[in-house]
Structure 1
């Protein structure tokens, strides 16, 4: 979908938009209806294929009508019942509440977005492992507090990017694996389902069947326990931090007066044709600046969740999760493109180091203290740092699916 306020948004086309949410909500209703029928709670005549019964073309009308009830599930259920007949219409949504449908649909949409992010992230770790290994011995000046410090290698700089991304990947995978089905009924007790089935065990079995159909883990109702959402927001923000760190380094090192790296295809200027702006780095930094605010909104909402279902706090999550999820997918694609085209100039690094003043001062003071002659270089354990990061990156990447799997 078009978004002039967020360049690159088209990279997330079809993810966490109105059409995706409606499709996911219908999938939840389908899974629940199928569970009712397969468990013989609803008659076989209630079975129906809801696919395509509601779609993106209905988004405008459902959006306009959602204000009356405060969420889009109410209108969706009414529309599905209007477009089905007999026992299907009668049994549709029975035992569910609106929050069950919206939460589980959001989980399905988030999972799809997170999977896209992880695919790109694994590509980035492969690229970074190769980059760090290739530049294991490429010496450059280290910089601390914006000033020249002691020598490092470009491989160690890439290693720091790797460590941030691997740490973030661990958090993202954990958050994804924690996304679960939400089925609790009006107040989280499955009271309607127990009433329909006459059995607590059967009501719980309906939850399990619905979760299995959606390929989600079952869970007790989490209507006001929002850790699944805050954990996902935190993980995606941690990843934004790691991309921001990488992008800040690339943007700094691509300054004309430094020129040690540059993006493969720089962006132009509307008035200065000589410029080649590090646009991908700029956009990644934009995401790193904006993501923490979105994550904090999720925490504010989680802390304000009250009673058995929240009055406004829950509603604040939807657009927040949409923006954070879509923007993470956008940034993931931009980071992959940045790393795939990144150009490193070892000659410029060597010239900067040679011209730097005082980069051997610490080494000289260490030599004076020990009485030993200074070593030919002053790289410490740089090679070990690089090798450890490369190993960590290659171990983190998910194995490719087997042929035919």
Structure 2
């Protein structure tokens, strides 16, 4: 996570942070062992085992882990992190939808030149354009709400489901058959996240065009290092940035899903973790920025 490389990253807070990931894995181990475990202090030697669960188990005590495999713990922790991210997204999407409704009420009847293929077409109302934004954001919110959050519990080779129902109930997750090499739960979440940035990108692109033509303006434009008179549409630029980069992350998740092998993947599983982290954080940031953008959007009627 770096605000220097990804301005606005701080908006995501602890979403998919190392600390949140570690706490989620400890929560899984605690639920499994029925012992209230605490997050260990100090660094873990993650590289030596290829994933964070192996050194975590050594720090917590192997007796708490008996019956699970590393993938059970790590996948279930990812699902817990996804659930938290979706809750954040739902709140900001609700805020964005409320802002669009206010725009429709205040400026829905304002006429503007409709444009097709970037060229002037026929007169429309701003309400028509705003309602298109709203529909896209509402569709994204519905896709996120339709996600399920399945527990992963299959033991060493995905055949031991004896503790599945108990672990799912303890963590308030959906009971499911082991999905060690069947990754639709991950790709479905990735698709919903990208649908969300698609909707935000549509808003941002229209605002960028509208600001270029003097029709729309952000509440607080960003400054220029060499032209102090400028008020750049910075939020729109940053949202568009996310919309341009997140589809590639979802594509990586699908590539990883297609490269699963036998009972445990040899690298494809490992490729998901940071990819999903980036996708979730960038989506959370983009939706937060979109809600702020819409809340302060000015119309030059």
TM-score normalised by L of structure 1:
0.73
Q: How far did residue 208 of structure 1 move?
A: 1.2
Q: CA deviation at 1:2?
A: 3.7
Residue 326, structure 1, aligned to residue 298, structure 2? no
> Which residue of structure 2 aligns with residue 27 of structure 1?
27
Check conservation: 1:131, 1:158, Cα contact below 8 A.
yes
2:89 to 100, 108, 117: 117
- Partner-residue secondary structure (3-state), 2:122: strand
Per the alignment, residue 51 of structure 2 pairs with 71
Q: Equivalents in 1 of 2:3, 2:95: separation in Å?
A: 26
Residue 280 in structure 1 maps to residue 250 in structure 2: no
Where does structure 1 lack aligned partners over 5 or more consecutive residues? 35-47, 82-88, 191-202, 347-405
2:195 aligned residue (231, 238, 247): 238
Instruction: Report if aligned partners of 1:253, 1:259 keep a CA contact under 8 Å in 2.
Output: yes
- Could you say which residue in structure 2 is the equivalent of 1:219? 176
- TM-score, structure 2 length as denominator? 0.97
Alignment of 1:330-345 (within 5 A): 330-345=285-300
Number of aligned residues: 301
For residue 146 of structure 2, give the secondary structure of its aligned residue in structure 1: helix
**By how many angstroms is 1:133 displaced?**
3.0
SS of alignment partner, residue 121 of structure 2: strand
- 1:9 aligns with 9
Question: Does 2:159 align with 1:189?
Answer: yes
Moved >6 Å (runs of 4+): none
Whether the 8 Å contact between 2:23 and 2:39 is mirrored in structure 1 is no
Deviation at 1:126, TM superposition (A): 1.3
Q: Supply the distance in 1 between the matched residues of 2:169 and 2:102 (Cα, whole angstroms).
A: 39
Distance in 1 (CA, whole Å) between partners of 2:49 and 2:109 is: 63
Which residue does 2:131 correspond to in 1?
Answer: 159
Assess if the C-alpha contact under 8 Å between 1:134 and 1:155 holds in 2. no
Q: Which residue of 1 aligns with 2:250?
A: 295
Kindly indicate whether the alpha-carbon contact (under 8 Å) linking 1:16 and 1:322 is maintained by their aligned counterparts in 2. Answer: yes
- Structure 2, unaligned runs of 5 or more: none
Q: Any conservation in 1 of the 2:197–2:243 contact (CA below 8 Å)?
A: yes
Output aligned runs, 1:123-138, within 5 Å. Answer: 123-138=95-110
> Quick one: distance in 2 between partners of 1:12 and 1:124?
16
